[in-house]
């Protein structure tokens, strides 16, 4: 199926349901009247960047915003350029309105901001230090005004449905994609040659896989790998080839089989929504929008806020990614858990959010800042604002276990202080030190994931 046909199917099958579902969630009329429509027909919003974000999610969010603003005849249509879409509508008076999405890879989004032809950069990885320097004239691109986490995605490792393997470690995964394992029988699979499928170099999906898997093991991608600009195209190719292995976003699994992944001392984890939401799954990642820190257009500001809203996060779910609204999950106690944690697992439920911190800092990161309000809203709605919840802090391994335990408890105290300001009060806080890692501590990115604070409710 061509990308153009796929987008048209998205429009005809999903968009009517989307717009119907948003009918009860429209923004106030005063908000819609505040957004100007250019008389010269220029786009009200231009998004460039990640194919992961831009293929479905970004256009669907624009369509949702258009509907919430009272626009009519909303359509998502392909353009003559592959992986580019036009979202069109009209005002009640008949004036045409449109926005554009060009999904050619995360790096192209930052180029669009730098060169002025994009209003937002869609990214499936955090902005790099070099990109921050290139965009320095715009302001602090890591500030809360610039960096927006709009969804969570799991980078799924996919194989043919007939492949008997159920899980892989990140170490073994790196050996496969480096071309060091050439036949599946070497790791307990069928007697078939391994055929590698990977995203292209401009893709944030590729950057994430390279950072979390290959570069961490000191390896590079085999020259035999077939490269793709589209997640969907890659997943379809893997599903048709019994010797294939690839990696893609959760929204693009299709008929391919996703494997459970273990990193460092973590247990193998499948890319389940709850594990992705908490970012415990080793190959979980955040999906971003980056905007100019100042001088944003009214449509840019409205799009960002709509993306964070309850209506926007419902669209995140419909698009196949993991939304950031708060829910509870029951976690089964395991024999290797510390006694306190086993008791917690038996008696309480865990919220589907982890608070994490800026690298090398005691300051909560940009996602955590928004999660504070989401958690308070959940606790208030369920009458659990006082003495019904527990905070549990974790950290990376230290030479002194006592120090690791202290630092993990201090992280939980930081979260408690911020939630106290918002009217939430906890029955207990606890620091677990370096227990129960969810990622390898060998590199900084793994240590950042392990430095987390969980919330449990009774």
In a domain, 274, yes or no: no
Considering the domain architecture, whether residues 80 and 111 belong to the same structural domain is answered as yes
Cα dihedral 381, 65, 102, 111, rounded to 10, equals: -70
**Backbone phi, then psi, for 272, in 5-degree steps?**
-80, 150
Considering the domain architecture, whether residues 257 and 313 belong to the same structural domain is answered as no
Do β-strands 428-431 and 389-393 pair in parallel, antiparallel, or remain unpaired?
parallel
| C-beta separation of 193 from 183 below 8 A | yes
Considering the domain architecture, whether residues 7 and 144 belong to the same structural domain is answered as yes
Do β-strands 284-291 and 45-49 pair in parallel, antiparallel, or remain unpaired?
unpaired
Q: Which helix (H) or strand (E) holds 297?
A: none
Q: Which residues of 136-175 are buried (b: 16+ CB within 10 A; e: fewer)?
A: eebeebbeebbbbbbbbbbbbbbbbeebebeebbbebbbb
Considering the domain architecture, whether residues 138 and 159 belong to the same structural domain is answered as no
| C-beta separation of 324 from 149 below 8 A | yes
Considering the domain architecture, whether residues 377 and 240 belong to the same structural domain is answered as no
Considering the domain architecture, whether residues 138 and 161 belong to the same structural domain is answered as no
- What 3-state class would DSSP assign to 275? helix
Q: How much is the pTM?
A: 0.80
In a domain, 271, yes or no: no
Q: Which residues face 148 on adjacent strands?
A: 289
Domain boundary among 297, 318, 339: 318
In a domain, 354, yes or no: yes
Count of domains for the chain: 3
In a domain, 273, yes or no: no
Q: What is the pLDDT of residue 441?
A: 58
Considering the domain architecture, whether residues 111 and 167 belong to the same structural domain is answered as no
Q: Range of 338's domain?
A: 326-457
Considering the domain architecture, whether residues 293 and 237 belong to the same structural domain is answered as no
Q: What is the pLDDT of residue 434?
A: 85
In a domain, 272, yes or no: no
Considering the domain architecture, whether residues 108 and 199 belong to the same structural domain is answered as no
Per-residue pLDDT of the chain (458 residues; tens, 9 = 90+): 443 334 334 443 344 334 334 433 434 333 444 699 999 999 999 999 999 999 999 999 999 999 999 999 999 999 999 999 999 999 999 999 999 999 999 999 999 999 999 999 999 999 999 999 999 999 999 999 999 999 999 899 999 999 999 999 999 999 999 999 999 999 999 999 999 999 999 888 998 899 889 998 999 999 999 999 999 999 999 999 999 999 999 889 999 999 999 998 788 999 998 999 999 999 999 999 999 999 999 999 999 999 999 999 999 999 989 999 999 999 889 888 899 999 999 999 999 999 998 876 678 999 999 999 999 999 999 999 999 999 999 987 766 788 888 889 999 999 999 999 999 999 999 999 888 877 665 655 556 678 899 999 99
Q: What is the pLDDT of residue 28?
A: 37
Considering the domain architecture, whether residues 94 and 186 belong to the same structural domain is answered as no
Q: What is the pLDDT of residue 357?
A: 85
Considering the domain architecture, whether residues 159 and 145 belong to the same structural domain is answered as no
In a domain, 100, yes or no: yes
Q: What is the pLDDT of residue 450?
A: 81
Q: Which residues face 291 on adjacent strands?
A: 120
In a domain, 143, yes or no: yes
Domain boundary among 318, 336, 361: 318
CATH number at residue 342: 3.30.1330.60
CATH number at residue 183: 3.40.190.10
In a domain, 276, yes or no: no
Considering the domain architecture, whether residues 384 and 452 belong to the same structural domain is answered as yes
């Amino acid at each position: 199926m061509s990308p153009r046909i796929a987008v048209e199917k998205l429009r005809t099958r999903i968009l009517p349901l989307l717009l119907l579902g948003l009918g009860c969630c429209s923004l106030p009329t005063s908000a819609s009247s505040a957004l100007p429509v250019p008389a010269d027909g220029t786009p009200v919003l231009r998004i460039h960047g990640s194919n992961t974000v831009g293929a479905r999610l970004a256009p669907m969010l624009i369509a949702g915003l258009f509907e919430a603003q009272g626009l009519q005849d909303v359509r998502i249509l392909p353009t003559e350029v592959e992986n580019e879409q036009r979202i069109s509508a009209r005002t009640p008076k008949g004036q045409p309105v449109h926005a554009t999405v060009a999904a050619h890879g995360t790096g192209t989004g930052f180029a669009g901001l730098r060169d002025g032809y994009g209003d937002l950069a869609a990214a499936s990885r955090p902005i790099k230090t070099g990109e921050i320097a290139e965009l320095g004239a715009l302001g602090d691109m890591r500030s809360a005004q610039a960096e927006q986490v709009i969804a969570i995605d799991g980078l799924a490792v996919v194989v043919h449905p007939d492949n008997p393997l159920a899980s892989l470690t990140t170490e073994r995964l790196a050996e496969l994609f480096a071309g060091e394992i050439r036949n599946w029988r070497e790791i307990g699979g069928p007697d078939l040659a391994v055929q590698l499928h990977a995203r292209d170099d401009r893709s944030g999906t590729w950057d994430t896989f390279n950072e979390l898997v290959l570069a961490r093991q000191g390896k590079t991608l085999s020259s035999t790998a077939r490269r793709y600009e589209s997640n969907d195209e890659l997943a379809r190719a893997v599903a048709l080839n019994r010797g294939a292995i690839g990696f893609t976003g959760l929204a693009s699994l299709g008929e391919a089989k996703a494997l459970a992944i273990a990193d460092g001392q973590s247990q193998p984890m499948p890319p389940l929504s709850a594990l992705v939401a908490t970012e415990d799954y080793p190959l979980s990642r955040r999906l971003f929008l980056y905007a100019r820190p100042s001088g944003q257009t009214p449509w840019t500001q409205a799009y960002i806020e709509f993306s964070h809203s309850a209506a926007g996060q419902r669209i995140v779910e419909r698009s196949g990614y993991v939304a950031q609204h708060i829910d509870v999950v029951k976690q089964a106690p395991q024999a290797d858990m510390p006694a306190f944690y086993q008791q917690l697992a038996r008696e309480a439920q865990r919220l589907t959010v982890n608070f994490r911190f800026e690298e090398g800092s005691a300051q909560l990161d940009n996602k955590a800042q928004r999660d504070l309000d989401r958690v308070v809203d959940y606790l208030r709605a369920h009458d659990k604002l006082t003495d019904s919840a527990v905070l549990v802090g974790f950290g990376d391994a230290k030479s002194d276990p006592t120090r690791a335990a202290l630092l993990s408890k201090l992280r939980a105290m930081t979260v408690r202080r911020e939630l106290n300001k918002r009217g939430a009060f906890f029955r207990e806080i606890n620091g677990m030190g370096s227990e129960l890692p969810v990622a390898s501590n060998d590199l900084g990115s793994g240590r950042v994931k392990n430095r987390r604070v969980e919330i449990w409710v009774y």
